[in-house]
Structure 1
Amino acid sequence: MSTETLDLVVVNGTVVLGDGRYRLAVGVKDGKVAALAPEELMPPARTRIDARGDFVLPGIVDSEAHPGCYVPFEHDMRTESRAAACAGVTTWGIQAPVTRLGTEPFQEVVRRADVGSFHKSFPAARKVIESVSHTDAYLTYMLETDEQAEEIGEYAEQHGVTSFKLYLQTRGLRGMPDDDDSNWPSRRAGLGHGIDDGTVYLAMEQVAHLGYPGMVHIHPENWEIARVFEDRLRATGRTDFGAWTDRSPDFLEAQHIRAYAYLAQQTPGRVPLYLQHCTTELSFQEVAKARAEGVELYAQTGPAWLWAQPENGWRINVPLRRRENIEALWAALADGIVDVVGSDHVVAWEPASFEAMYASNIWDCRTGFSRVELFLPVLLSEGVSKGRISMERLVQVSCENPAKTSGLWGRKGSLLPGFDADMVIVDAGREVTVGKEHINTRAGWSIMEGHTFTGWPVKTILRGQVTAEWADDSPGMRPVGDPRGSYLPRSLRGAAQPALALTEPTRVGVDRPRPASAFDRPGFSPETLRFTGVREPRDGGRR
Structure 2
Amino acid sequence: MRVDLLIKNGTIVSGSGRKKAEIAVKNGKIVAIYSGESPYTADETIDAEGLFVLPGVVDTEAHPGCYNPFRSDLATESRAAAATGVTTWGVHQPSTRLGAEPFVEYVQAEDVGPFLPVMPGCVKIIEEVSAVDVFITPMVETDEQVAEIPQLAEEFGMTSYKLYCQSMKPELDKYWAGRKAGLGAGFDDGVIFSTMREVAKLGGSAITQIHAENWQIARLFEKELIEDGRTDFAAWTDRSPDFCEVHHVRSFGYLAKITGSPLFIQHSSTAATHEEIMRIQGEGVTIYGNSGPSWLYLEPNQEAWRINVPIRYPDNRAAIWDALAKGKGVNTVSSDHVISWPPNHRKDMFNDNIWKLRTGFTSRVEMLVPVMLSYGVNEGRITLERMVEVLCEDPARIFGLFPKKGSIEVGADADFCFVDLEREITVNEKNVTSASGWSVVEGHTFKGWPVRTILRGKTIAHWKEGEESPYVVPTEESNGEYLPRINGSKYYKI
TM superposition score category, shorter chain reference: over 0.9
Q: 2:337 aligns with which of 345, 348, 353?
A: 345
Which AA in structure 1 matches 2:59?
D
Is residue 328 from structure 1 mapped to residue 325 from structure 2 by the alignment? no
2:298: which partner in 1? Answer: 308
Q: 1:235 aligns with which of 227, 233, 243?
A: 227
Is residue 384 from structure 1 mapped to residue 346 from structure 2 by the alignment? no
The alignment partner of 1:428 has SS state of: strand
The alignment partner of 2:117 has SS state of: helix
| Deviation string, structure 1 residues 180-224 (Cα, Å, up to 9, x no partner) | 34x621111100101100011110110110001111000000010
1:101: which partner in 2? Answer: 98
The alignment partner of 1:319 has SS state of: coil
1:292: which partner in 2? Answer: 282
Divergent runs of 4+, >3 A: none
| Deviation string, structure 1 residues 504-533 (Cα, Å, up to 9, x no partner) | xxxxxxxxxxxxxxxxxxxxxx99xxxxxx
| Deviation string, structure 1 residues 250-303 (Cα, Å, up to 9, x no partner) | 111111000000011111xx2100110101001011001100111110111111
Contact 1:156 1:492 in 2 (8 A): no
Q: 1:410 aligns with which of 392, 403, 413?
A: 403
Q: 1:210 aligns with which of 188, 195, 202?
A: 202
Which AA in structure 1 matches 2:274?
F
Query: C-alpha root-mean-square deviation of aligned residues, in Å?
Result: 1.5
Contact 1:469 1:480 in 2 (8 A): no
Q: 1:220 aligns with which of 192, 212, 215?
A: 212
1:486: which partner in 2? Answer: 481
Cα distance in 2, alignment partners of residues 105 and 39 from structure 1: 58
| Deviation string, structure 1 residues 438-484 (Cα, Å, up to 9, x no partner) | 20001111111111111011110000000010124521222035111
Q: 2:148 aligns with which of 142, 147, 151?
A: 151
Contact 2:69 2:99 in 1 (8 A): no
Is residue 318 from structure 1 mapped to residue 309 from structure 2 by the alignment? yes
1:186: which partner in 2? Answer: 178
1:362-511 alignment to 2 at 5 Å?
362-368=354-360, 369-472=362-465, 474-481=467-474, 482-491=477-486
Distance 1:124-1:283 versus aligned 2 partners, 3 A rule: same
Normalising by structure 1, we get a TM-score of 0.88
The alignment partner of 1:40 has SS state of: coil
The alignment partner of 1:260 has SS state of: helix
2:171: which partner in 1? Answer: 175
Which AA in structure 2 matches 1:202?
S
Contact 1:27 1:42 in 2 (8 A): no
Which AA in structure 2 matches 1:217?
Q
| Deviation string, structure 1 residues 403-423 (Cα, Å, up to 9, x no partner) | 011110121000111100000
**Aligned length, in residue pairs:** 486
1:503: which partner in 2? Answer: none
2:77: which partner in 1? Answer: 80
Cα distance in 2, alignment partners of residues 100 and 206 from structure 1: 23
Cα distance in 1, alignment partners of residues 306 and 431 from structure 2: 22
Distance 1:97-1:39 versus aligned 2 partners, 3 A rule: farther
Cα distance in 1, alignment partners of residues 54 and 36 from structure 2: 17
Cα distance in 2, alignment partners of residues 444 and 115 from structure 1: 31
Unaligned runs of 5+ in 1: 495-525, 528-543
2:271: which partner in 1? Answer: 281
Contact 2:116 2:148 in 1 (8 A): no
Cα distance in 1, alignment partners of residues 397 and 310 from structure 2: 27
Contact 2:429 2:438 in 1 (8 A): yes
Which AA in structure 2 matches 1:303?
P
1:35: which partner in 2? Answer: 32
Contact 2:28 2:456 in 1 (8 A): yes
Which AA in structure 2 matches 1:286?
E
Cα distance in 2, alignment partners of residues 110 and 302 from structure 1: 28
Which AA in structure 2 matches 1:297?
I
Q: Which moved more, 1:370-379 or 1:480-489?
A: 480-489
Cα distance in 1, alignment partners of residues 117 and 235 from structure 2: 40
Cα distance in 2, alignment partners of residues 244 and 363 from structure 1: 8
Which AA in structure 1 matches 2:479?
R
Unaligned runs of 5+ in 2: none
Normalising by structure 2, we get a TM-score of 0.96
The alignment partner of 2:451 has SS state of: strand
The alignment partner of 1:71 has SS state of: coil
Contact 2:214 2:245 in 1 (8 A): yes
Cα distance in 2, alignment partners of residues 266 and 473 from structure 1: 56
Cα distance in 2, alignment partners of residues 438 and 400 from structure 1: 28
